[in-house]
Structure 1
Amino acid sequence: MIRVQIVDDHPLVVEGLERIINDSGIARIIGKAHSLKDCWRMLARATADVLLLDIGLPDGNGIDACAQILKKYPGVKILMLTSYAELNVITRSLENGALGYVLKNSTVEEIIEGICTVALDERFLCEEVDLLLRTKKEDTISLSRRERELLRLIAEGHTMNTISEIMCIGYETVKSYRKNIMTKLQVPNTAALIKYVVERKIV
């Protein structure tokens, strides 16, 4: 049974989460706090496996608190549970050590899955947050004109030798370009690269 603590300043939210989590048969609530002051008192008494932490609290914000809590209690796995869906807020939370990020409009299944995942020391993002981060990541990928030309030729099914002739560059240079592109797009092989390009219509 995963032990969970909640830090949220809305009693109705806390009550709802407590009921959902306790009814899951997977986790149980061992502590609740409605402010950061109460949170520190709660942690001083006992620490859970997973801490559900809101961001907007009456005496501070959960993002800064996240780093402070982990510094003093490094064994706690923090899952942010908030209504903030802004990219910079999500990014700062993860940079400050949060292992997961779940929005309050997430499904019950996502919340329970998030608790189970971070309890195993693995990152969890609810579907909406994961999509937001992926979209931003794709938007910021920078490919040169030559890299895009190479991508187009690969997607058209040309071999490395043929691409070398078409682009008037050496075979090893083509391989180097391809390797750089795969690193930028974080794909493991040529087949995955082609699929990525076709699905996202990059070229």
Structure 2
Amino acid sequence: MQKDKLLTTIVDDHPIVIEGLKMLLQHEANIQVVGGFCSGAEILSYLRNNKVDLILLDITLPDINGMDLCQLIKSEWVSTTILILSNHTERSIILQSIQNGASGYLLKNSSIQELRQCIAEAIQGNIVYSRAVMEIISRPSKNQLQERPQLTRREKQVLALVAEGKTSQTIGQELFLSPLTIDTHRKNLIQKFNVKNMAELIMAASQQNLL
């Protein structure tokens, strides 16, 4: 085994995809596929006893989603490069994957040339995307396109303090309100911005220059 080969594993819930990728990559001079796994538990177990340089990881797995698995792997095996290879085209999933430590995101319809190039750049420490993914993340998000929500003076105050990372307890003390009232304002803000959580709320508010 040549030392300069990237020890690579493929994690996908479809065995046929794993076999297909193995065939595609078997002629790559710098890559050696050392395993294919269909679940998060399998790859985590393998990593505990084996060195892996590169993981090609799907988002949809039977026991854990790829975004969370990526974060788990990177927390323990920092030097392992992870590229997401998925059919999911949601902008939020792409960005969350990168935030969780992935070095890139490619769609499964990518060409072998594109995959080869992305692997080479990711190994150098770059964040990489396939062409189709670049198009997705360059489009304005839903939050950028929608009209600015109308906020009350109090909601603006709460939003600014939430963005500073303060808890409902702390915000309540600063504004002389109960934590329950602050929680109500938080829920109203999430509803007005049509987002799922505080992280998305802060991102949406920033995009609309409300912070």
Task: Tell me the TM-score range normalised by the shorter chain.
Answer: 0.5 to 0.7
* One of 85, 110, 121 as aligned partner of 1:106: 110
Q: Which one has a larger percent helix, Structure 1 or Structure 2?
A: 1
Q: How does 1:47-196 map to 2 (within 5 A)?
A: 47-136=51-140, 140=144
Query: How many angstroms does 1:136 deviate by?
Result: 2.5
Task: List structure 1 segments (4+ residues) > 3 angstroms apart after TM superposition.
Answer: none
Percentage of pairs with the same residue: 31
Matching residue of 1:27 = 31
Q: Count the aligned residue pairs.
A: 141
How many angstroms apart in 2 are the aligned matches of 1:107 and 1:99?
18
How many angstroms apart in 1 are the aligned matches of 2:34 and 2:124?
18
Matching residue of 1:44 = 48
Note if contact 1:80-1:101 (Cα within 8 Å) is conserved in structure 2. Answer: yes
- Runs of 5+ unmatched residues, structure 1: 142-183, 185-203
Matched, 1:11 2:15: yes
**RMSD over aligned Cα atoms:** 1.8
How many angstroms apart in 2 are the aligned matches of 1:68 and 1:42?
14
Alignment-mate amino acid for residue 61 of structure 1 = N
How many angstroms apart in 2 are the aligned matches of 1:64 and 1:136?
25
How many angstroms apart in 2 are the aligned matches of 1:22 and 1:120?
21
Query: How many angstroms does 1:59 deviate by?
Result: 0.7
Query: How many angstroms does 1:131 deviate by?
Result: 1.3
Query: How many angstroms does 1:90 deviate by?
Result: 0.4
How many angstroms apart in 2 are the aligned matches of 1:120 and 1:6?
20
- Runs of 5+ unmatched residues, structure 2: 146-206
Q: TM-score, normalised by structure 1?
A: 0.65
Alignment-mate amino acid for residue 112 of structure 2 = V
Q: TM-score, normalised by structure 2?
A: 0.63
